[in-house]
Amino acid sequence: MKHRSCLSVVLAAGEGTRMKSSLPKVMHKIAGLPLVAHVILAVQADDKSDVAVVVGRGAELVEAAAQAVGSKVSVYQQKERLGTAHAVLSARNAIEQGYDDVLIVFGDTPLIEASSLSHARQQLASGADIVVMGFRPENPYGYGRLIENEGRLVAIIEEKEANEAQKAVGFCNGGLMAVKGAHLLALLDAVKNDNAKGEYYLTDIVALAHGKGLNVIAQEVPADNVIGINNRLELSQAEAIWQNRKREELMLNGVTMIAPETVFFSYDTIIEPDVIIEPNVVFGAGVKVDTGAIIHAFSHVDGAYVGEQVSVGPYARLRPGADLATGSKVGNFCEVKNAKIGERAKVNHLSYIGDAEVGADANIGAGTITCNYDGYNKHKTSIGAHAFIGSNSSLIAPVTIAEGAYVGSGSVIVENVPANALAIARGRQENKEGRAEVLRQRYAQLKAELKHKV
């Protein structure tokens, strides 16, 4: 089949007043990614078709978010908010390039699946002129109703214009449509604003096209594909749907989760098969977890690579730049930031390892801290392979502890330690025979004297 060129027009000029936010609505995030970016990922999932984003307030922010995930994105400003047809016409210059297909999608409808969009485009390829994505909401109130006749879509009637019979129709406009590029501008230019809201309704192109004898059809999509976000409650509901989709996808792909409803992913989280994730784990952006790893309960993993057979947590925090090689361990109450942990190396308890490199098979004792920050600059700590850092040591960076070295517990290390050396940097212990009894008597007497005074 001939490749069909495609333009996706993303409408994102809405005020979003109900978000009660200083941010433009489409900049609010689900799974750590702005709504508008989710839409762009969906429209560009199959082919990197061109994208025109129609924006109002906060144009620069929206443009940056769109460019960050998409290619060939251009941005058009809708100066006045005169309705959805007017919004699409703001991208007239893009539409005039003459695309085979134009997808019109909403920036606040982030859960649209690429498969629904490509199905609509297939319908265009096989003869439809307009494909409208319809769904059956529990409560159709507020949606445009899809009026069908003999398999053709005849009109979309907005709630405010609908009569009782039309209001009784449960099949509703999801808002998104695919239109043959050759027809779109003429149809949009014919739309008038003589309706209840005084707006140019995109939905009016359906009756106009039908009147011209064009082939207009509705395609039913799952309701959760076309959920639109208007307030923070709906934002959280969309987040929940997104998280459930991701959990299902991962579990069916071989990831074990004991309580999946308590595990949260980012839009770009990669978890390989045969990973086990215990309850209450949160993944920030930029994480990959390799096969055989286990993430124990209550861990927070952000911008990190977790290698094969690695064990993390419980209660671990991996921050950006944490890079845990095969078979290594980061245990309870440990924080790792911008640090490479070598193969089989262990950071098991209550440590902070930041701006560091830890060699293979090294052992970092409980409570070890890399003192990487002096209030102005960050400095690096290098720990060689097979090194052993005794518990409760402070490593004042910049510092290097070479291969195979030993650091005695409780040391404050300010100078480099050569390979295979033992470094001890703490007060020396003195034992005073019999002194405990002397102390006990002294303290008991003091207590008696104090009581007497009262």
Site pattern 223..262 for ligand UD1 (x: CB under 6 A): -----x----------------------------------
Question: How many CA atoms, within 13 angstroms, populate the side-chain half-sphere of residue 135?
Answer: 21
Query: Which does residue 143 touch among Ca ion, ligand UD1, none (CB within 5 to 8 A, set by kind)?
Result: ligand UD1
Binding segment toward ligand UD1, per CB under 6 A, in 8-16, 237-245, 333-341, 422-430: 8-16
- How long is the chain? 454
**What is the rounded CA–CA span in Å between residue 346 and residue 89?**
60
| Least distance CB 146 / ligand UD1 (angstroms) | 9
Query: Which does residue 381 touch among ligand UD1, Ca ion, none (CB within 5 to 8 A, set by kind)?
Result: none
The residue from 23, 61, 82, 223 that contacts ligand UD1 (CB under 6 A) is 82
- The burial class, CB within 10 Å (0-12 / 13-18 / 19+), for 258 is exposed
**What is the rounded CA–CA span in Å between residue 346 and residue 323?**
13
* Distances, alpha carbon 113 to alpha carbons 117, 132, 199, 429, in Å: 7, 15, 29, 67
DSSP run (H or E) holding 370: strand 369-371
Q: Does the annotation mark 379 as catalytic?
A: no
Which listed residue (349, 379, 386, 452) is catalytic?
A: 349
Can residue 104 be called a binding residue for ligand UD1 (CB under 6 A)?
Answer: no
Report the sign of the C-alpha dihedral through residues 367, 317, 302, 269, in that order.
Answer: positive
Can residue 302 be called a binding residue for ligand UD1 (CB under 6 A)?
Answer: no
| Least distance CB 108 / ligand UD1 (angstroms) | 5
Report the site for ligand UD1 in 24-63 (rule: CB under 6 A). Answer: 54
Structure tokens at 357: 């490199």
**Residue type present at position 439:** L
Report the site for ligand UD1 in 172-201 (rule: CB under 6 A). Answer: 172-175, 201
Q: Looking at beta carbons only, is 109 or 299 nearer to ligand UD1?
A: 109
**What is the rounded CA–CA span in Å between residue 7 and residue 191?**
21
Q: Looking at beta carbons only, is 132 or 255 nearer to Ca ion?
A: 132
**Residue type present at position 388:** F
Q: At what angle do helices 59-69 and 35-43 cross, to 10 degrees?
A: 40
Report the site for ligand UD1 in 125-144 (rule: CB under 6 A). Answer: 143-144
The residue from 228, 303, 327, 342 that contacts Ca ion (CB under 5 A) is 228
Nearest partner of 27 among 6, 50, 55, 51, judged by Cα: 55
Residues 6+ away with beta carbon under 8 Å from 420: 402, 403, 404, 405
Binding segment toward Ca ion, per CB under 5 A, in 110-118, 224-232, 360-368, 403-411: 224-232
Binding segment toward ligand UD1, per CB under 6 A, in 77-85, 290-298, 331-339, 417-425: 77-85
Query: Which does residue 42 touch among ligand UD1, Ca ion, none (CB within 5 to 8 A, set by kind)?
Result: none
Can residue 84 be called a binding residue for ligand UD1 (CB under 6 A)?
Answer: yes
Q: Which residues pair with 337 in a beta bridge?
A: 354
Can residue 156 be called a binding residue for ligand UD1 (CB under 6 A)?
Answer: yes
- The burial class, CB within 10 Å (0-12 / 13-18 / 19+), for 11 is buried
Query: Which does residue 82 touch among Ca ion, ligand UD1, none (CB within 5 to 8 A, set by kind)?
Result: ligand UD1
- Chain centre to alpha carbon of residue 283: 9
| Least distance CB 184 / ligand UD1 (angstroms) | 15
Taking residue 381's Cβ as centre, other Cβ atoms within 10 Å add up to: 25
The residue from 50, 75, 91, 106 that contacts ligand UD1 (CB under 6 A) is 106
| Least distance CB 374 / Ca ion (angstroms) | 52
Q: Which residues bind ligand UD1 (CB under 6 A)?
A: 11-14, 54, 78, 81-84, 86-87, 106-108, 143-144, 156, 158, 172-175, 201-203, 228
Q: Which residues bind Ca ion (CB under 5 A)?
A: 228
Catalytic residues: 349
